[in-house]
Chain A
Amino acid sequence: MDLETRYSAEDISRIIDQALVYQCGCPAQIATTLLELRDLFDYQVKCADSDDTNRRVHEAIARATVEAHARMELCLDEVLEIEGWDRETLTMPEALRSRPTKSL
């Protein structure tokens, strides 16, 4: 089973770069979750290579990770659309950049 990605690692870095703190960065939180899901998928692939590993356990992890990843990428699409990001350059809209952050 493969993990299909529509946002490259560079795309995700770009989104996170622009949302430095959690309080102003919903897309960054989703992007971080995508990276974690990719790490989990890579981990289970490596772990599944060992002989004594239960194949069904890894299939379950892989299936759930692929589904969750696809769902979170769709979620990122929606959030970027709602917030008005430039989808070509993945640039945060000016209105969001100048919005004051919440008190920490």
Chain B
Amino acid sequence: MHFHSVADFIAMGGYGFFVWLSYGVTVLLLVLLILASRADRKKIIRQIQQRQKRVAKLNQAAQAEANHQSVELQL
């Protein structure tokens, strides 16, 4: 172990501000990148699912229309 106490570790020999700024910014930016990547993925998945629902609904409507017409023809 290089440091003798927690205070020693925080102080970083007088360079504490710069060292912790570096490590802090790194963690912050990486967390933001991961969160943004997750948001992108959720957005794409939602878009595809919504379009799929719309397609299913249209298919259903077309099916109903076709059934209706065949009933009319029979009459």
A binds B: no
Taking Cβ atoms with an 8 Å cutoff, the residues of B that contact A are none
